[in-house]
Each structure stands twice: as structure tokens, then as C-alpha cells.
Amino acid sequence: MQHKIPISKLGPLGDEMASAVSTCVHCGFCLAACPTYDQLGQEPDSPRGRIVLMKDVLEGNLSVDDASLHIDRCLGCLACEPACPSGVPYRDLISPYRATMEPVRKRTLIDRITRVMTSSTLPYPRRFRLAAKMGRFARPLAPWLPRPIGAMLNLLPDRLPQRQSWLPINPAIGTRRGRVALLSGCAQSVLAPDINTATIDVLTRNGIEVLVPPNQACCGALSWHVGNWNQAKQFAIANLKAFPEDVDAIVTNAAGCGSGMHEYGMILKGTKYESDATAFVSKVKDVSVVLAELGELAAIPQRSESLRIAYHDACHLANAQSVRSEPRHLLTQIPAVELLEIPESHLCCGSAGTYNVDQPEIAKSLGDDKVRHLLSTEPDLVATGNIGCMTQLQTHLAAAGSSVKVRHTVQILRDAYIGKL
């Protein structure tokens, strides 16, 4: 027999979940926007269907574990939000639901092992670097290991880039136009540290002083989106303490990180840090937004050779932060660049944090579809704003036999400035 869970007993997130559930009128506009519905064609694997399932669990008509198959398949890409005419705040339901229900879920031993492996390595750069190096030796065993662990090993690059570090204070070049603090990130600082180097280069060239707080932590997005609420709280509180208040913006250059930091108000709801989180969130901006707000940028050298760049919308940039025009505007400032739009661009590439590990079959299918649409534009280069997307796209491009490279928007800008594009 299922027991009803009164909203009042769901803790500080109960009101948000109740509001999100009640806002949905089950119109179905979200179906065409949802990647998992597109892949699986089942009502429970749509946002509308998942809202019904979560409502039934909250009202005690369905067990948490009976609903978990379809809830777990949600990428959290939030493509349903811009598609929804009723304005359902799906982000206020899916992550809080996972965080609230995780303690009462039944998980297999393999699930528990995988979650411990990811939560104890990915958010910590030193541990992740060590784990990645060790994992390469175990990769030949991937076909014989449990599927999630095998998927994790297959995602590792053949070689890690050289470790990079950044000065705590990076002065503006020329007249100072602003002062920001940069989130250096965890997995990104291991897999693609040059993104931070390029971010600092482009910002300082344009008169922005960049601080890199030495005591900062992981943004907490991975923890929050898989229901590890306690870990997400710890990271959020650490960052509230680490980042200075006297800056114009807290800059992120990974869509998932920026989205996660924008949810600090939810993560820390009901704690003594709630009001501090609201002030913090008001300053969080993607690097493309900071640059676009400057107006006129430092002149980029002329180029004679044309370059076709396909821009991939990272879900947590386009949907979660409503940042779509700014990266495109920046790329079109580069001489001789033709910007290409990817068909079906609203559908997620399948990265979504640990989704490749948790749902490898769906992630692979989404990655294959995304690369097929991408290559139809015949690009010379692919631009995006998220390390997860970069890894996913590069993996599937290589599998398709393509030599097209994927670069972060700021890397492309930096390369244009130094004449190496």
C-alpha cells in the first residue's frame, strides 16, 4: 500500500513542486520539444507524462520506485520550458523531486557504486585527473564490465591535456571596463583547461579584470541534478564564501555550471544562506553575455579565408539561461565567418551531466542524431558553450569518421584575436 506524502512534509521544496505540478494543463505542446519522447515515443517519457508520475508519487498513488524508470530518463534539458504555453517551471519540479525522493529510493548495487564513483571524482579536479588516468588502463575491459561503468570508461579521452593554472588576479588590458570573478570548474579544468585560459584572454583584452577565487568549489550542478542534495548544498555554500561580492559579475563558461549556480536559491532554500544565494545568483552570467553587454569589442584582425561555423545550442545555455543570441553575435564579429544553424537544434545532444553513464543507449542515439544533423550543414568547425556537449559531439563526430573539431565560443574568439583561427 502506498502512503500519501503531504506537501507540507516534503520540506522547503514542497511548495515549488506543488506549484509546478498544478501549472501543467496537459496540453501536449512539450511533446515535440522533448528528446526522450522523440526517441521513445512513450507518454511517460514526456514532460507531461513525468509530471503526472511525480504528482501520483507525491499524492501516494504510486511508489517512488515504480516511477523511477521514466523519471531517470529525463535529461533535464528543459526544452519543454520554452515550448510550454502555460509557463510550467519544470526545473522547479524535476531536480527538487529527485533531491527529495533520492533518500527513499531503492537502487541496485551497480547503481550505488556508479553514483559513488561519479560523486567522489568528477567534482574534484585532482581526483578526476587521477581517476581518468587510471581509467584508461581499464578501458579494454569495458565490454565485460557493467554497462554504466563501461560507458564511463569509454568516455575518457585517449590523452588528457597538460595541467594549467590561472592567476588569482588577471589585470585588464588598457582601460578597465569591469571586474569579474571566474568559476574555473571541475571536470572542464581537467578535460579542457584551455577554455578558462581563452576566457581570461578574451575578457582581459576587452578591458575586464578577471579574478579566479582560489577556494572555489564545484558548482554543484551534477550533484543537484542527480538528487545528491547534501553535496550540492556543500558546494553552493563553499562558493558563496569563496566568491567576492565586489565584482560586476560571476562568470561561467560552461552552460551546466551556469544553470546549476542559477539554482542556488532552490538548493539552499530553507537554510540561513537563502538570502545570500539570491544576491549571488543575480550576478551569475555566462561569458558570452558579459562580452555581449560590453558593446564594442576590441578589434579582431581581418581574415581572408572564409570559415563555416555551426553553432550548437547547449541546452542549459539556451533553455535554462535563455542565452541564444549572444554567442551567435560574438561569432559573427569574426571576419569571414559564416554562421550555420543546425537542423533540429532544440533536441539535446545526449550529454546532460552523467546521462551518458546513467542512460548510455539513449545518450548514444541522441548523439548520433545530433551529429547527423550537424554534418548536414557541412561545417568547417563547431562552436558551443558547454564542456559536456563538446565531449559528446567530438566523440560522435569521431565515430562518424569526421575530422570536424568542436571548440568553445571563447576559444574561437581567442584564436581569432591571435591569428590562429
pLDDT over threshold 60, residue 118: yes
Torsion of CA 34, 35, 38, 39, to 10 degrees: -150
**Average pLDDT of span 335-348:** 96
Q: Which domains does the chain have, with CATH numbers?
A: 7-104 (1.10.1060.10), 109-154 (no CATH), 169-293 (1.20.1050), 307-417 (3.40.50)
pLDDT over threshold 70, residue 4: no
The stretches of 102-220 forming alpha helices (DSSP H) are 109-121, 125-138, 147-154, 187-191, 194-205
Compute the distance between CA of residue 193 and CA of residue 243 in angstroms, rounded to an integer. Answer: 20
Contact predicate 105/64, CB 8 Å: yes
Compute the distance between CA of residue 10 and CA of residue 16 in angstroms, rounded to an integer. Answer: 10
Compute the distance between CA of residue 405 and CA of residue 402 in angstroms, rounded to an integer. Answer: 9
Confidence of residue 3 (pLDDT cuts 50, 70, 90): very low
pLDDT at 193: 96
Q: By mean pLDDT, which of 42-56, 62-76, 144-158, 206-220 is the weakest? A: 144-158
Compute the distance between CA of residue 185 and CA of residue 218 in angstroms, rounded to an integer. Answer: 6
Torsion of CA 47, 53, 55, 58, to 10 degrees: -130
Q: Which residues contact 193 (CB under 8 A, 6 or more apart)?
A: 161, 162, 163, 164
Percent of the chain with pLDDT over 90: 75
Q: By mean pLDDT, which of 140-154, 180-194, 208-222, 327-341 is the weakest? A: 140-154
pLDDT at 201: 98
Cα→Cα distances 258→187, 286, 327, 372, Å: 14, 7, 15, 28
Highest mean pLDDT: which range of 55-59, 136-140, 366-370: 366-370
Strands (E) across 131-280 are located at: 169-170, 178-182, 208-211, 249-252
pLDDT over threshold 90, residue 231: yes
pLDDT at 2: 45
Torsion of CA 109, 111, 112, 116, to 10 degrees: 140
Compute the distance between CA of residue 179 and CA of residue 75 in angstroms, rounded to an integer. Answer: 35
pLDDT over threshold 50, residue 81: yes
What does the pLDDT look like over 149-189, one tens digit per residue? Answer: 787 787 788 889 999 999 999 999 999 999 999 999 999 99
Compute the distance between CA of residue 164 and CA of residue 156 in angstroms, rounded to an integer. Answer: 19
pLDDT over threshold 70, residue 7: no
Contact predicate 388/352, CB 8 Å: yes
What's the mean pLDDT when you consider all of the chain?
A: 92
pLDDT at 10: 65
pLDDT over threshold 70, residue 8: no
Q: By mean pLDDT, which of 136-145, 257-266, 298-307 is the weakest? A: 136-145
Q: Which residue has the higher pLDDT, 17 or 87?
A: 87
pLDDT at 9: 55
Task: Give the SS3 label for residue 341.
Answer: strand
Compute the distance between CA of residue 23 and CA of residue 36 in angstroms, rounded to an integer. Answer: 22
pLDDT at 382: 98
Confidence of residue 6 (pLDDT cuts 50, 70, 90): very low
pLDDT at 110: 87
Query: What phi and psi, each to the nearest 5 degrees, are found at residue 181?
Result: -120, 135
pLDDT over threshold 90, residue 13: no
pLDDT over threshold 80, residue 363: yes
pLDDT over threshold 80, residue 224: yes
Confidence of residue 339 (pLDDT cuts 50, 70, 90): very high
**Average pLDDT of span 261-277:** 95
Contact predicate 379/341, CB 8 Å: no
What does the pLDDT look like over 25-53, one tens digit per residue? Answer: 999 999 999 999 999 999 999 999 999 99
Q: Which residue has the higher pLDDT, 145 or 211?
A: 211
**CA-based angle 74:316:345, to the nearest 5?**
85
Confidence of residue 140 (pLDDT cuts 50, 70, 90): confident
Q: Which residues contact 266 (CB under 8 A, 6 or more apart)?
A: 13, 16, 92, 95, 96
